[in-house]
Amino acid sequence: MTVDVALGPGSSTWERLGQWRFLMVMHRALVLQAAHPAVGAAVAEYSVYNARPWRRLFRTIESLHTYVYGSPAEQRRELARLERLHRRMQGTDGYGRTYDAGDSSSRAWVHLTLFEAVLTMQRLGGEPLSSEETGRFYDEWRRVGRQFGLAEDDLPATPEEFRAYFDHVVAEVLEDNATVRDLLSGSIYRIPPPSGVPIPDLLWAPLRFAVVTAAVQATTATLPAAYRERLRLTPVPGSELAVNGLHLAVRMVADLLPKPWRYLPLAAAALRAAEQPAAALVPESFFGTVLDQSGDGVLRWSDLLAMAREISTHLDLDEKDEDRLHDAFRSWWEQLATATGTPLDGSVTEAAYAVALADRAYPGPADRHRGYGAVAAVVRGLIDRDGNGEVRQDEYTRLLDHSPRRHELIAALRELDHDGDGTVHGDELEQALREFLVGVRDFEAARHLLGRV
């Protein structure tokens, strides 16, 4: 499978698809997708959304954002995974009809409902896309569709043809089925609290009922009229006005936020990585921008220890690996103390650090067994777990699974994936860490790992 030219910052797709506001139209999009006979049958037979609704929701969002905001290697892996998944979703539905969730017509419908969902989000938020912007977004979304394995002829050629296609599918293809009814009035009223959220059942039950009822009513109010009539759904009086008002209010609040805050984590991380210019970093300024973790103007062992603890959190280290990391940082502190003539229990001033640099007492050649070279070597070893000299993206994605800055770190590590094959070479990683630790190269992933971004 080939991947077309990737989208990027400034594209209509990147600007809109990853916003938190998209979640407000996601339930509506899921209902429209499930209403397609093949999709509804496949979900009914193969999906575990009833048992694991939150996992299913977060995995769906992560998958969508991976093939929009991900690197070419991430896109290839995710699209291959989706193709394998869809190939297995086939059978016979309750009416004796054969279905195949991997056929081009059902996949095209799923893909295009997301385009329509963004249009709906913009319209309800009081900022409908102009004809020109709609055309630009649609051209981009067709490109993503080709990445998704859809052929040129599987998708309408223009936004006008899309509208005719959408109206036809709504009027002639979509149906009332068990999956749709479940999404509108069944299992969603049994959703458990999100994992890790300590909320008692006594509080969760009424909160869930209120939120789910509101979501269902919002979906009902905004479904295409022809499909709503087929389901014999009647919106609560005033619900359309309330939905419009809520979307408008959320959009206006979002516009006041810093741009990254408007986006879901993976999208925000991709935007930061692509748009943020590399900060100027020189050895003299490195003392205050990175080393002095406490910000009190001097460098102590406690500052380096804080860095070690931060890395341990990101990599979810066990005691043995924490000890290795601690020893490497201790060796680096001893190197700094010796170079600046500072007692091990003392404080290195910025002036003493500058003198050590000027006199070439520090940093000196990298040594993998002591000083900053040992820190770089140990961190490289903790990331390149199997020691084969290469770290695939799926490896460090799993490694960072418990990191509080997971998405930012994954995006930042792409800096070393020069050929876009999804692999970071261990020697390059270690060299980048060495150069960062002595302040001659900025490396955003290292800033995240050390807790100074």
Q: Of 223, 252, 274, which one is at a domain's C-terminal end?
A: 274
Residue found by looking up tokens 């080939």 in the block: 2
pLDDT at 56 over 90: no
Residues 6+ away with beta carbon under 8 Å from 244: 124, 126
| Paired residues of 391 in beta bridges | 424
Please indicate whether residue 89 or residue 73 has the higher confidence score (pLDDT): 89
Together in a domain, 315 and 231: no
Q: Do 143 and 47 lie in a common domain?
A: yes
For residues 286 and 447, what is the distance between their CA atoms, to the nearest angstrom? 11
Residue 25's domain comprises 12-274
| Same structural domain, 330 and 399 | yes
Within a domain: residue 349?
A: yes
Boundary residue ending a domain (240, 255, 274):
274
Are 47 and 171 in a shared domain? yes
Task: Please tell me whether residues 171 and 266 are part of one structural domain.
Answer: yes
User: Is 5 domain-assigned?
Assistant: no
| 198 and 59, same domain (yes or no) | yes
Residue 279 has pLDDT above 60, yes or no: no
Instruction: Give the number of domains in the chain.
Output: 2
CA angle 279, 283, 287 (to 5 degrees): 85
| Residue 149 within any structural domain of the chain | yes
Partner residues linked to 392 by β-bridges: 423
353 located within any domain: yes
Residues 206 and 309 in one domain: no
Residue 4 lies in a domain: no
**The last residue of a domain, from among 274, 306, 330:** 274
- Domain identity same for 180 and 90: yes
Tell whether 290 is covered by a domain.
Answer: yes
Residue 452 has pLDDT above 70, yes or no: no
Lowest mean pLDDT among 22-26, 240-244, 319-323, 388-392: 388-392
The answer to whether residues 106 and 168 belong to one domain is: yes
333 and 241 in a common domain: no
Taking only the tens place, the pLDDT of each residue in 139-190 is 999 988 888 888 889 999 999 999 999 999 999 999 998 889 888 886 666 7
Are the C-beta atoms of 416 and 428 separated by less than 8 Å?
yes
Same domain for 329 and 297:
yes
28 dihedral zone (left: phi>0; alpha: psi -120 to 50; beta): alpha
Is 341 a member of any domain?
Answer: yes
User: Is residue 1 assigned to a domain?
Assistant: no
The pLDDT of residue 133: 94
CATH (domain of 421): 1.10.238.10
What average pLDDT does the segment 127-138 reach?
94
Q: Is the pLDDT of residue 403 over 50?
A: yes
* Residues 76-90, mean pLDDT to the nearest whole number: 79
**Are 363 and 410 part of one and the same domain?**
yes
Number of Cβ within a 10 Å radius of residue 439: 20
| Residue type at 346 in one-letter notation | G
The predicted model gives 242-265 an average pLDDT of: 92
Does 111 score more than 80 pLDDT? yes
